[in-house]
Structure 1
Amino acid sequence: MTKSYIEIKKESLSDAKKNFKYDLIEEVECGRSCTPKYRKKLLFKVSFAAFQLILLFFFLIFICFPLTYKFCYSLQRAAVFLNFKNIPLNPDYHHPAKYGLEGTRNYYVTTDDDVKLGVWQLLPEQEVGNYENSSFDDEQFQNLLSDGKNVIIYNHGNGGCRLTDHRIQLYKVLRQQFHVIAYDYRNYGDSSDRELSEDNVVQDIMYMIKWVKSKAKGHVFVWGHSLGTSLSTQALARLQTSGTRVTGLILESPFNNMREEISEFPLTRWFKHLPWFAFTVVDPMQENNFLFKTDVHICHVDLPIIILHAEDDNVVPYRLGYKLYEAALKCKSEKDGSIQFKSFEENLHYGHKYIYKDERLPNIISNFVLEAIKETRKKSKN
């Protein structure tokens, strides 16, 4: 009996499906049943595909990203300031007591260029009970800075804001001896969303120092951490030219300049061994004025300085802090103010931001304060 055209087509399709099924089974079971030649061919295909993926990854990460970094100002700025990183969920700037800071007031200070800066003012520990439940308004609370006690201004590093935990823990240590002023630069925390640059943040710091100096009757000290060390040093160097001075400067985990520090940044440390690292990362940042030349500015700061650095710091290497110290020794004379360097042993595991845990820190600070005040008085007599 002659088969119809439709029946023949159905049989052909059925045979094709069976063959396809058998081919799949053969490929799946290739490890047991296929020929060595076929296995070798399959292994070559898999290896070549893996090689292509690795090559693509290398091209994107080690060539495309550095080239993008070279020509992207906003990416360079993000790498320096990290103001998008370590932001706490649902931060409550208005109620510092929620973070264990009783006797602390939140308010806002507006700079000369109309930037609103979020500020926390912490009373000295011994004064907390006297004013904790006071009905003082912000201005009356600010006027407590004029009680004759020493004041310290804390200038934070990159990332986070004034309610980041390691900063809060340091405030608690500092308030044992000072009124503490902790605040956020522009574009950090709840401060005004304005353009970030080295010069702009230095302007914020200069304004806050002048603002505190206008209210405080006691000695004023400045504490800078990480990126804040370079910003603080530059701000004080500039202020001295106009006659505004503080009593002492404390630099925690500082670096000597951005050219050497940039290779340690989280966004760039992967690329520091590449032959084109300087061309794509270091040089463009210099061209865009991300300079942070602490080793230059420190030569123009005529006051006592102490540097604190942990030996196991993996963000700002200990050697860069010591390089800054050596630079200061070379360019500063004895009449320019003393310079001290205090290291914290590697086995203490303080890293980049946990020096506040050291039981010796309050004594280190109080000794420095006494020496700085003594130097200041001696200089004022001469």
Structure 2
Amino acid sequence: MKRRIPKQGLASPPPSSSSSVQRRVHSQRKDSRPFSWWLKWGLLALFVVFIVLPCTVKVLPNLIQHYVYAHRLRVPFFADLSRPDEFSLNHTINMYLTSEEGISLGVWFSWWLKWGLLALFVVFIVLPYTVKVLPNLIQHYVYAHRLRVPFFADLSRPDEFSLNHTINMYLTPEEGISLGVWHTVPASQWKEAQGKDLAWYQDSLGAGGPVFIYLHGNLGTRSAPHRMGVAKILSGLGYHVLVPDYRGFGDSTGEPTEDGLTTDALYLYNWVKARSRNSLIVIWGHSLGTGVATNMAVELVKQGVVLDGVILEGIFNAARQNIPFHPFIWYYWKYPGIGYLFKEPWAENKVVFPTEENLKQMRSPVLFLHSEDDHLVPISIPQQLHEVAASVQGAERVKMVTFEGSLGYLHNGLYRDPRLPGIIKEFVQSLEG
């Protein structure tokens, strides 16, 4: 245990008794004074702050304004403000305006003042008025005339995308909505298809061969490489393929909504059905298209119609997946900064896609296709949905094919697998039998 040792040195002598007595007397004399200087000044300060000052502000405002504002110091000192040229403004004139009697306003007028006032007028009056009062007009010019990707691509010319036996057409599912659609005939007819018009393509649908309607995923257009890859595979197998761009996608007009996309798919199905006689019609949905496909399948069941077959590639389940952003957010952000002018313009565009519930109501044969390394939809999602569909229709009518993750197909690359044509052909043959 350490001990504290005091420093060695001379000890201070104890205070004398006389000095101690004097300090006690002085202290008693100081504490016993009833009214000291700080008390006087404190009361005076309170009087000024709480009585004099409020009275002055309330009772004499004109006097205060006169002495505070009218006779204030001016900076810079000794500056002649009537001579703007002395301030290197050789294109500015000084003038005096009279706003009220006895009031003279000194004004410098220059080009930047004009444009500055115009900018303030636009920013604080024109723009807020336009945003609040004319939302429909803004939506028309921002959304309807948005930029499209790929840039400068003419989707009305499928031959420019190496599809030389394909025709482009536009359908109208609703008033004011135009859908761009590519129709590719079987590859065996590519020579015969050269130079043929829309009527020939429509008549070819009734030749008896299977017809596929491919409902693509989110983002991009019907010209995306993986979508054209699927179309070429199906055409090579001897099938007709129709690939639409939903409303708001590609060169199709309108705003994308869940109901709108479902309406587009239903219209195209009925259009094909009316022209294909008794041909087999198969719906192939990829990613977002799986939600559209199951929606339309349930709507047709309500009408007493059962689809011949459904292929669901890269299927998602909104009820069990956390989708961190709105699927159609790309549509509203085509112009940079639009999200700052409109707070979540997609807020009213609700998207549900109840795929799991739809599968419980569907009565069509279903084929699930999924890659084990899908980076957007984990393999557990289609496995769970496959079990749901199989529990309702039976394992004979609901099949699932998975592709090894080592192949690197991810979400969009299944069309590259050499086994895919055989898998599709086998599925179609099971539907025909």
TM-score range, shorter chain: 0.5 to 0.7
CA contact (8 A) 1:103 1:131 kept: yes
Kindly tell me: are residues 337 and 117 of structure 1, through their superposed partners in 2, closer, same or farther at Cα, counting changes over 3 Å?
A: farther
Aligned residues of 1:85 and 1:159 also touching (Cα < 8 A):
no
- Structure 2: which amino acid aligns with 1:166? H
Tell me which moved more, 177-186 or 288-297.
Answer: 288-297
Residue 93 of structure 1 aligns to which amino acid in structure 2?
Answer: L
Is the 8 Å Cα contact of residues 356 and 388 (structure 2) preserved in structure 1? yes
Q: In the alignment, which residue of structure 2 is the partner of 1:90?
A: 152
Tell me, what secondary structure is at the counterpart of 2:312? strand
What is the distance in 2 between the residues matched to 1:85 and 1:318? 35
3-state secondary structure, aligned to 1:115:
coil
Match of 2:187 among 111, 125, 148: 125
**Aligned equivalents of 1:328, 1:86: Cα separation in 2:** 37
Cα 1:85–1:266 change in 2 (3 A) is farther
Q: Specify the alignment match of 1:294 in structure 2.
A: 355
- Supply the distance in 1 between the matched residues of 2:398 and 2:407 (Cα, whole angstroms): 24
Alignment of 1:46-61 (within 5 A): none
8 Å contact from structure 1 (residues 116, 191) kept in 2: yes
Count, aligned residues: 270
User: Cα–Cα, structure 1 residues 296 and 176, in superposed 2: closer, same or farther, change >3 Å?
Assistant: same
- Give TM-score, length-normalised by structure 2: 0.59
After TM superposition, give the deviation of residue 318 of structure 1 in Å: 1.7
CA contact (8 A) 2:247 2:255 kept: yes
| Distance change >3 Å, CA 85–CA 359, structure 1 → 2 | farther
Cα deviation 1:106-150 (Å, max 9, x = unaligned): 11111144421001000101111112233x3x2332121111111
Alpha-carbon distance between aligned partners in 2 of 1:327 and 1:231, rounded to the nearest angstrom: 18
Distance, in Å, in 1 between the alignment partners of 2:306 and 2:390 is: 21
Unmatched runs of 5 consecutive residues or more in structure 2: 1-145, 330-345
Q: Does 1:188 align with 2:257?
A: no
What is the alpha-carbon root mean square deviation over aligned residues? Answer: 2.5
**Which stretch has the larger CA shift, 163-172 or 256-265?**
256-265
Question: How far does the alpha carbon of each residue in 1:34-76 deviate from its partner, in whole angstroms, 9 at most, with x for none?
Answer: xxxxxxxxxxxxxxxxxxxxxxxxxxxxxxxxxxxxxxxxxxx
Q: 2:88 is matched with which residue?
A: none
- Residue 168 of structure 2 corresponds to which residue in structure 1? 106
Structure-1 residue corresponding to 2:267: 207
- Counterpart-to-counterpart distance in 2, 1:340 and 1:248: 11
Distance 1:267 1:235 in 2: 19
Question: 1:198 & 1:176 partners in 2: Cα distance?
Answer: 32
Q: Name the counterpart of 2:423.
A: 364
Aligned partner of 1:46 in structure 2 is none
Asked if the contact 1:155–1:222 (Cα under 8 Å) also holds between the matched residues in 2, the reply is yes
The correspondence of residues 345-356 of structure 1 with structure 2, limited to 5 A, is 345-356=404-415
- Give the Cα–Cα distance (whole angstroms) in 2 for the partners of residues 121 and 267 of structure 1: 25
1:264 CA drift (Å): 8.7
Q: CA deviation at 1:267?
A: 11
Decide whether aligned partners of structure 1 residues 266 and 239 sit closer, same or farther in structure 2, where only a CA change above 3 A counts.
Answer: closer
> C-alpha distance in 1, partners of 2:213/2:264?
12
Q: CA deviation at 1:347?
A: 0.4
Q: Which amino acid aligns with 2:368?
A: I
Secondary structure, in 3 states, of the residue corresponding to 2:351?
Answer: coil
CA–CA distance in structure 2, aligned partners of residues 164 and 264 of structure 1: 22
Query: Are the equivalent residues in 2 in contact too, given 1:256–1:323 (CA < 8 A)?
Result: no
SS for the counterpart of 2:274 is helix
- Mapping 1:137-152, distance limit 5 Å: 138-152=198-212
Shift of 1:329: 2.3
Determine which of 362, 366, 385 is the counterpart of 1:305: 366
Alpha-carbon spacing, 1:197–1:237, altered in 2? closer, same or farther (3 Å): same
Distance in 2, matches of 1:155 and 1:267, equals: 16
1:234–1:298 Cα contact (<8 Å) kept: no
**Per chain length, whose mean CA-contact separation is higher, i.e. which structure has more relative contact order (CA < 8 Å, sep 6+)?**
1
Deviation at 1:288, TM superposition (A): 6.2
Query: Equivalent residue of 1:246, what SS?
Result: coil
> Match of 1:260?
321
Alignment of 1:229-308 (within 5 A): 229-263=290-324, 289-308=350-369
Contact map agreement 2:366 2:397 (CA 8 A) in 1: yes
Identity %: 34
CA separation of 1:267/1:198 partners in 2, compared to 1, >3 Å: closer, same or farther? closer
Instruction: Give 3-state SS (helix, strand or coil) of 1:139's partner.
Output: helix
Give the aligned residue type for 1:220.
I
Shift of 1:94: 1.8
Q: Distance in 2 between matches of 1:314 and 1:126?
A: 36
> Do the aligned residues in 2 keep the contact of 1:122 with 1:179 (CA within 8 Å)?
yes
Contact 1:184-1:191 within 8 A present in 2 as well:
yes
